[in-house]
């Protein structure tokens, strides 16, 4: 089954809609979706290492656009969608301390969390909720998400062939590790804040 999933992912990464799927996942992950774009970015970049930089740019731009939606959820829809998401992640009791923290450390929070497995959607929603400077939020998001995706593109471009061989041999371990990172990111987010 895992081998079939790997083949399907590779087929998607080589297909005509691969870039659109990558952009859609990167966009959604920054505002409401729990799966990171790495699930598609890695196989796509391994299938076509010469396009890794292009894929990183697509991820960056789509992620920042999705971040703008997350910001809007926090700023405009907190009473409905935003509150539901904050409740889902267990932050209701922590809102006052988060507001104070964000006023003091918001820029560092955006930069650091954009690089980590902590869900970026929390950053985007909090930024809107706490009325963080929108142009600065976009700039910081471009920096942090760009750094994350372009670092990955550089690694894949440099070590792509050996990584592809290892990924093909251990795709189940790769998926398990990715799932552990995502779950770990959520756990860290809940525990830290």
Please answer whether residues 175 and 5 qualify as being in contact, where contact means their C-beta atoms are separated by less than 8 angstroms.
yes
Helices 38-47 & 18-29 angle (0-180, nearest 10): 150
CA dihedral sign, ordered 133, 137, 139, 144: positive
Query: Residue 90 region, left (φ>0) first, then alpha (ψ -120 to 50), else beta?
Result: left
Assigned token pair, 39: 């699930």
Give the separation between CA 108 and CA 179, rounded to whole angstroms.
Answer: 26
- Digit-by-digit pLDDT tens for the chain (193 residues) are 545 655 666 676 677 888 998 998 899 988 877 778 887 888 788 778 888 899 999 999 999 999 999 999 889 987 777 677 677 767 777 777 888 888 899 999 899 888 876 778 888 988 998 999 999 999 999 999 999 899 888 887 777 666 666 666 666 666 666 566 656 655 655 565 5
Torsion, Cα 137 17 47 40, to 10 degrees, reads 40
For the chain, which residues make up each domain, given as ranges?
Answer: 20-29+38-192
- Dump strand ranges (E) for 88-164: none
CA 114 to centroid of chain Cα atoms = 7
**Other beta carbons less than 10 A from residue 88's beta carbon:** 11
Residue 103 vs residues 41, 83, 85, 133, 159: alpha-carbon distances, Å: 34, 20, 21, 11, 41
């Amino acid at each position: 089954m895992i081998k079939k999933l790997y083949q399907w992912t590779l087929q998607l990464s080589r297909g005509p809609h691969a870039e659109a799927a990558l952009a859609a996942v990167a966009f959604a992950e920054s505002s409401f979706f729990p799966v990171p774009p790495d699930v598609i970015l890695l196989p796509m970049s391994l299938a076509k290492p010469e396009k890794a930089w292009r894929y990183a740019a697509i991820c960056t731009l789509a992620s920042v656009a999705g971040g703008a939606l997350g910001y809007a959820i926090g700023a405009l829809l907190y009473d409905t969608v935003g509150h539901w998401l904050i409740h889902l992640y267990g932050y209701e009791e922590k809102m006052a301390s988060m507001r104070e923290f964000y006023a003091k450390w918001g820029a560092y929070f955006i930069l650091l969390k954009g690089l980590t497995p902590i869900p970026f959607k929390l950053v985007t929603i909090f930024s809107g909720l706490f009325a963080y400077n929108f142009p600065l939020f976009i700039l910081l998001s471009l920096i942090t998400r760009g750094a994350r995706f372009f670092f990955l593109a550089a690694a894949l471009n440099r070590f792509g062939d050996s990584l592809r061989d290892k990924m093909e041999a251990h795709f189940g371990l790769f998926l398990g590790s990715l799932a552990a990172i995502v779950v770990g990111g959520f756990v860290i987010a809940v525990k830290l804040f």
